[in-house]
Amino acid sequence: MATRVEMIIETLKANPESKFTARDLAKEFMVRYPDEIAEKQTNPRYDTEEKLIAQLAAEVGGQRTKAAQRACANVATRDKPRPRIYYWEANPDFSALDVSHEELDEPEVDTPLVSQSLSEHDLYPMLIEYLSKDLGLSCLRIDERKSKNSHGNGGNHWLHPDIVALEPLDQGWDEIVRSCVRSGNHSSVRLWSFEVKKHLTKGNVRKYFFQAVSNSSWANFGYLVATGLNSDVEGELQMLASLHGIGVLLLDTDSLFDSQILIPAKERTSVDWQSANRIVAENSDFHHYIEQVGIYNQTGRLIKSAWNK
């Protein structure tokens, strides 16, 4: 039985002139690998073709794509503009080749399929999965219910982001460089903040955007996340983003790894620690987040059990 990594490699190799989205690859898998697909269809969660395609598309992205690229230098992707495109590169850089049979034989683990009826809270684990697997971020959910509310009713209005993340910059650096950065009090991380909404319309776009501005003012990167938007709001978003630096990410709930950054956030070169301290004083989840950021800055270690939940 072929693994997803092998499916990606073999399908692209068999179609050297074609370009695929994750969803396109999923449809090809159904044609090329009927035995594997028939076995997967025995799972009652995939009782329709659409659910099965969405699940297979989700399994293409993240670590499986990276494993396929390490195992075969011909596997190539184009990330911008979104959605991500997969294709066969005829003349790759073979110096990047790192064949690992362990990766090719790695057991397949399903990404949970998400129901069609979603609340904002349903989107949080999906966003964390996308950010961690596709963008390499370490994420945490900030639960506003864990705040002290010491400033009284409304005192924490638009204070908490929904998801926060740490981006390590020094992975792969020589240890002498990492030590030099730490001893010089320079940060080896970037901090991200995400405000999650279901759908953006003319009636709510400014309210939601400025909620993201307020909740994310402390971070290096701030994003408003939505599952979709009306066609008449993109111009407003572009204007607001150019003024305030908040980016916009569209989360594709049917094909998670075809999600796209519609508008990149502008990087703030430093964290507003005064604003961060305000949230730390109120919310235990955010306190834990900053504690883990500090541990990484001091030691260069990510405690895996503390992240992506």
Is pLDDT at 46 greater than 70 in this prediction?
yes
Residues 6 or more apart whose Cβ sits within 8 Å of residue 246:
209, 212, 213, 216, 222, 223, 224, 240, 265
Q: pLDDT at position 300, please?
A: 81
Last residue of a domain, one of 77, 104, 131: 104
For residue 75, list its beta bridge partners.
88
What residue type is assigned to position 79 of the chain?
Answer: D
**Residue in this structure with the two tokens 């594997």, named with its chain if needed:** 36
Name the most confidently modeled range: 43-57, 140-154, 259-273: 259-273
Other C-beta atoms closer than 10 Å to the C-beta of 34 total: 10
Neighbours of 234 (CB within 10 A): 15
Considering the domain architecture, whether residues 197 and 224 belong to the same structural domain is answered as: yes
Q: Please answer whether residues 162 and 195 qualify as being in contact, where contact means their C-beta atoms are separated by less than 8 angstroms.
A: yes
pLDDT score, position 283:
92
Q: What's the number of CA atoms in the CB half-sphere (13 Å) around residue 106? A: 17
Ranges 17-31, 65-79, 144-158, 266-280: which has the least confidence: 144-158
Shared domain for 58 and 131, answered yes or no, is no
Q: Would you state the pLDDT for residue 161?
A: 93
Q: Within this chain, do residues 158 and 296 fall inside the same structural domain, yes or no?
A: yes
166-202 pLDDT, tens digit per residue, is 999 887 778 888 777 766 666 789 999 999 999 999 9
Q: How many domains does the chain have?
A: 2
In a domain, 114, yes or no: no
Q: What is the model's pTM? A: 0.65
**pLDDT confidence bin for 211, thresholds 50/70/90:** very high
131 in a domain, yes or no?
yes
Helix (H, G, I), strand (E, B), or coil: what is residue 144? helix
Contact indicator for 162, 196 with CB cutoff of 8 Å: yes
> Is 193 part of a structural domain of the chain?
yes
Assign residue 71 the CATH number of its domain. Answer: 1.10.10
CB 140 within 8 A of CB 288: yes
3-state secondary structure of 32: helix
Quick: pLDDT tens for 106-160: 444 444 433 446 889 999 999 999 999 888 899 999 998 888 766 555 556 678 8
At position 26, the amino acid (one-letter code) is: A
18 and 80: one domain? yes
Are residues 93 and 160 located together in one domain of the fold? no
Do 155 and 193 fall into the same domain? yes
Are both 46 and 146 inside the same structural domain? no
State residue 157 phi and psi, 5-degree precision. -60, 125
* The pair of three-digit structure tokens given for residue 146, joined into one six-digit string: 């864990």
Residues 130 and 277 in one domain: yes
Look over the chain and give the mean of its residue pLDDT values, rounded to a whole number. Answer: 84
Regarding whether 68 and 136 lie in a shared domain, the answer is no
Residue 102 has pLDDT above 50, yes or no: no
Please report the pLDDT score of residue 105 as a whole number: 42
**256 lies in some domain:** yes
Q: Which of 40, 70, 104 is the last residue of a domain?
A: 104
Could you tell me which residues are beta bridge partners of residue 139?
Answer: 165
Structure confidence at residue 148 (pLDDT): 77
Residue 282 contacts by C-beta under 8 Å, 6 or more apart in sequence?
147, 148, 149, 150, 151, 156, 159, 160
Average pLDDT over residues 16-27: 91
- Report the percentage of the chain scoring pLDDT > 90: 46
Distance of alpha carbon 63 from alpha carbon 69, whole angstroms: 10
How many CB atoms lie under 10 A from the CB of residue 159?
A: 18
Give the pLDDT of residue 88: 95
Question: Which residues sit opposite 78 in a β-bridge?
Answer: 85
Quick check: is 110 in a domain? no
Weakest-pLDDT range from 2-6, 125-129, 213-217, 243-247: 2-6
Distance CA 128, CA 132 (A): 6
Binned at pLDDT 50, 70 and 90, residue 96 comes out as very low
Shared domain check, 126 and 69: no
In this structure, is residue 49 part of a structural domain? yes
- Fill in the amino acid letter for 202: K
Q: Is the pLDDT of residue 104 over 50?
A: no
The two structure tokens encoding residue 219: 């971070």
Q: CB under 8 Å to 108, separation ≥6 — which residues?
A: 3, 4, 59
Domain shared by 178 and 40, yes or no = no
Same domain, 94 and 133: no
4 or 292: whose pLDDT is higher? 292
In a domain, 301, yes or no: yes
Phi, psi at 212, each rounded to 5°: -65, -40
Question: Which of 104, 133, 165 finishes a domain?
Answer: 104
Q: Could you tell me if residue 109 is inside a domain?
A: no
The secondary structure element, H or E, covering residue 14 is: helix 4-14
Structural domain boundaries, residue 25: 4-104
